[in-house]
Amino acid sequence: MKDLLKILFMFGLVIVVFIYKDNISNFINDKIIYKGSNEILTYNEYYLNNDYLYVQNIDTNSVSNYQEMLNMFYTIINSGDDSFSFYCNYNKCINDAKELVKSNEIIANINNFVHPYNSFSNINIDIISNGKITVKIKKVYNNDEIIFINSYIDAFMSDNINDNMSTIDKIKVFHDHIINNTIYDESKKEESYTAYNLLTTGKSICGGYSDIMAIYLNKLGIQNYRITSSNHIWNLIHLDNKWYHMDATWDDPVTSDGNQYLLHNFFMISTDELLALDKVEHNFDTNVYLEAK
């Protein structure tokens, strides 16, 4: 009889563990495995305390669902930290992390919401058996490049910006300056996507144009992020409680006669105005860049 009761008890225990396995796993993770092992995420001067409809900053070292996974990657990249570890608290967590890094598209979209100086050129993860995931980041810009770009923009602002100017005029004068001193790099060299290359060579592709504008806008204290389609990138800017598109690349057209032109067709326009001008290169994902819908 006692043996039968033991068998029934063990059978019941197995059923309870199976039913509540996620709760038990979370308890073990929170109270035993992770106790005392919390890493502290550090934030550099280019961290942006901005939350968006797609991703938000998160203050934890573990994730319990897919949205928290997106938020975790956003927070780590946004922080400017080179490496940070967090822990899985749901079944598909490790697979989701692998897919995010492998697929590249989603993680590249998240990269657009952070300051260009904190954006990555390469990102990978290390995973250990207890669900610990370590994110390792290699940034686009090194310290020497950041110092050079900051010095350039600071000098420009000192010579061209004053308190009597409207915010629009402050944006426009730098927009025009970049276009007047840059040509689109039709060779599309790999380094042409950076703001540093744009300033040092006078040539760039869309990544360089959008980065330099984002860096400048952040110096002005204007909320913004970069927005991408399948093969193009430009800026989305928050001003006077509205969001506007600015595409300096398309305002600096490549011409058949070799002449250089400065346009304002894509300067501070609405989404309807943007798509009325072009629905192909500017066909962005409205499930990601929700502020632009």
What is the pLDDT, as a whole number, of residue 20? 52
Across all residues in the chain, what is the average pLDDT?
90
What is the pLDDT, as a whole number, of residue 5? 57
Residue 258 has pLDDT above 90, yes or no: no
What is the pLDDT, as a whole number, of residue 26? 46
Quick check: helix, strand or coil at residue 120?
strand
Q: What is the mean pLDDT of residues 111-128?
A: 96
pLDDT digits (tens, 9 = 90+) for 239-251: 999 999 999 999 9
Token code pair at residue 109: 């979209």
Residue 73 has pLDDT above 60, yes or no: yes
First CA to last CA distance, the chain: 69
Radius of gyration of the CA atoms of the chain, in A: 24
What is the pLDDT, as a whole number, of residue 18? 58
Q: What is the mean pLDDT of residues 96-115?
A: 95
64 — pLDDT class (breaks 50, 70, 90):
very high
pLDDT digits (tens, 9 = 90+) for 217-235: 999 999 999 999 999 999 9
Select from 218, 190, 220, 196 the least CA-distant residue to 209. 196
Residue 35 has pLDDT above 50, yes or no: no
CB 74 within 8 Å of CB 110: yes
3-state secondary structure string across 190-222: HHHHCHHHHHHHCEECHHHHHHHHHHHHHHCCC
Quick check: helix, strand or coil at residue 115?
coil
Distance in angstroms (rounded) separating the CA atoms of residues 212 and 87: 35
Quick check: helix, strand or coil at residue 255?
coil
What is the pLDDT, as a whole number, of residue 269? 98
